[in-house]
Chains A and B, each alone.
Chain A
Amino acid sequence: MTVRHDGRVTAGAVVALVLAVGLAAPPVYAQAIPPHPTDLSYERLSFTAPVASDHRHELTNGVVGFVVEDHELPLVSIALTVRTGSYLDAPDKIGVASLTGSQMRAGGTTSVSASDFDEQADFLAAQIGSGVGGTSGSANLNCLTKDLDACLDLFFDMLRNPGFDEDRLALAKSRSIQQMERRNDATASIEGREWARLMRGEVHFSTSSRTRPGVEGITRDDLVAFHRRYYHPGNFIFSVSGDVETAAILAELERRLADWPVGTEAVPPVPAPAFTPRPGLYLVDKADVNQGRVSIGHLGTTRDNPDRYKLLVMNDILGGGGFSARLLTRIRSDEGLAYSASSNFGVGVYYDGVFRAGFQSRSETVARATAIVFEEIERIRTEPVEEEELSNSISYFVETFSRNFSSAGSTAGLFAGDEYTGRDPAYLAAYRDNIAAVTADDVLDVAQRYLDPEQLVIFVVGNLEAILAGDPEHPEFSLEGLSPGEVVRIPLPDPFTMEYPNP
Chain B
Amino acid sequence: MNAGTSYDYTIYFVNVPANKLELWFWMESDRLLNPVFREFYSEREVVHEERRMRTDSTPTGKFQEQFDALFWQSSPYSWPVVGWPSDLEGITREEALEFFGLYYAPNNLTAALVGDFDPAEAKALAEQYFGRLRQGDRAAPQPRTREMPQLGEKRMTAYAETNPAVTIRYHGVPDGHVDEPALVVLGQILSGRTGRLYKALVEEQEVATNASGGQAGYKFEGMFVLRGTAKEGRTPEEVEQALYAEIERLKTEPVSARELQKVKNQNAASNFRALRANFALMNQLLVREAYRGWETINTDPALYDAVTIEDITRVVNTYFEPENRAVAVYYRQESDEAPDPRLAGLDAQERQQVGQMMAMMQEMDAEQLGQFVAQIEQMGAQAPPENQDMVQAVLEIVQERLAAAGGGR
Q: Which residues of A contact B (CB under 8 A)?
A: 1, 3, 7-9, 11-23, 26-27, 29-30, 33-34, 37, 40, 42-45, 73-75, 106, 115, 118-119, 122-125, 142-144, 167, 171, 174-175, 177-178, 181-182, 184-188, 285, 287-291, 322-323, 332-340, 360-362, 399-400, 402-403, 406-407, 462, 464-465, 489, 491-492, 494-497, 501, 503
Contacts and interface: CB of A to CB of B under 8 A. Distances in A.
Interface stretch (B118-126, B179-187, B239-247): B118-126
Nearest to B332: A181
Nearest to B112: A16
A494 B119 contact: no
Given A17-B110, A115-B203, A336-B45, 11 more contacts: A1-B278, A14-B113, A15-B123, A19-B111, A20-B106, A27-B131, A40-B23, A75-B269, A144-B269, A362-B49, A503-B360
Contacts of A124: 265
Nearest to A323: B1
B228 to A, nearest CB: 13
Classify the interface of chain A: helix, strand, loop or mixed: loop
A30 B124 contact: yes
Given A18-B110, A21-B135, A171-B202, A290 B57 contact: yes
B136 to A, nearest CB: 9
Contact of A75 (B52, B59, B273): B273
Contacts of B144: none
- Size class of the B contact interface (CB-based, 8 Å): 35 or more
A73 B271 CA distance: 10
B387 interface: no
Interface in B93-138: 106-107, 109-119, 122-124, 126-133, 135
Contacts of B261: 123
A15 B121 CA distance: 11
A217 to B, nearest CB: 17
Interface of B: 1, 15, 17-20, 22-23, 26-27, 30, 39, 41-50, 52-53, 56-59, 106-107, 109-119, 122-124, 126-133, 135, 161-163, 192-194, 199, 202-203, 209-210, 229, 231-232, 258, 261-262, 265-266, 268-273, 275-278, 281, 285, 289, 294, 297-298, 301, 332, 336, 349, 352-353, 356-357, 359-360, 362-363, 372, 375-376
A75 B270 CA distance: 10
B50 A339 contact: yes
Contacts of A23: 127, 131
Contacts of A403: 15
B135 A186 contact: no
Contacts of B289: 16, 18
Given A3-B275, A40-B22, A287-B336, A489 B363 contact: yes
B23 A337 contact: no
A30 B272 contact: no
A501 B361 CA distance: 12
B193 to A, nearest CB: 5
Contact of B18 (A45, A75, A496): A45
A87 B148 CA distance: 57
Contacts of B336: 287-288
A171 B203 contact: yes
Contact of B119 (A13, A73, A106, A290): A13
A101 B25 CA distance: 47
Contacts of A491: 356-357, 359-360
Given A44-B19, A123-B258, A402-B17, A185 B110 contact: no
A33 B363 contact: no
B42 A333 contact: yes
A35 to B, nearest CB: 10
Contacts of A44: 19
Contacts of B26: 33-34, 37, 40
Contacts of A118: 193-194
A363 B102 CA distance: 37
Nearest to A401: B17
A501 to B, nearest CB: 6
13 contacts: A1-B275, A9-B297, A13-B114, A40-B23, A106-B193, A122-B194, A188-B58, A285-B360, A335-B42, A462-B57, A465-B362, A501-B356, A501-B357
B18 A74 contact: no
B49 A143 contact: no
B17 A45 contact: yes
Contacts of B301: 7
A332 B235 CA distance: 44
A289 B114 CA distance: 41
Nearest to B198: A118
B266 A174 contact: no
Contact of A8 (B114, B117, B202, B298): B298
Contacts of B119: 11-13, 15
B269 A122 contact: no
Complex A-B, nearest 7 residue pairs according to Cβ-Cβ distance, in ascending order: A336-B45, A336-B42, A125-B269, A185-B161, A289-B57, A339-B50, A291-B52
B50 A399 contact: no
Contacts of B130: 17, 19
Contact of A42 (B19, B30, B359): B19
Nearest to B106: A19
Contacts of A399: 17, 20
Nearest to A10: B298
A400 B332 contact: no
A340 to B, nearest CB: 8
A137 to B, nearest CB: 21
B106 A125 contact: no
Contacts of B133: 19
Contacts of A167: 203
A21 B262 contact: no
A234 B353 CA distance: 47
Given A119-B194, A143-B269, A291 B56 contact: yes
Contacts of A174: 209, 231-232
A33 B276 contact: no
A171 to B, nearest CB: 7
Contact of A494 (B17, B294, B353): B353
Contacts of B128: 27, 29-30, 33
Contacts of B349: 494, 496-497
A184 B163 CA distance: 12
Contact of A503 (B27, B202, B285, B357): B357
A138 B121 CA distance: 43
Contacts of A34: 26
A291 B46 CA distance: 12
B265 to A, nearest CB: 5
Contact of A27 (B118, B127, B203): B127
Contacts of B116: 13
Nearest to A242: B276
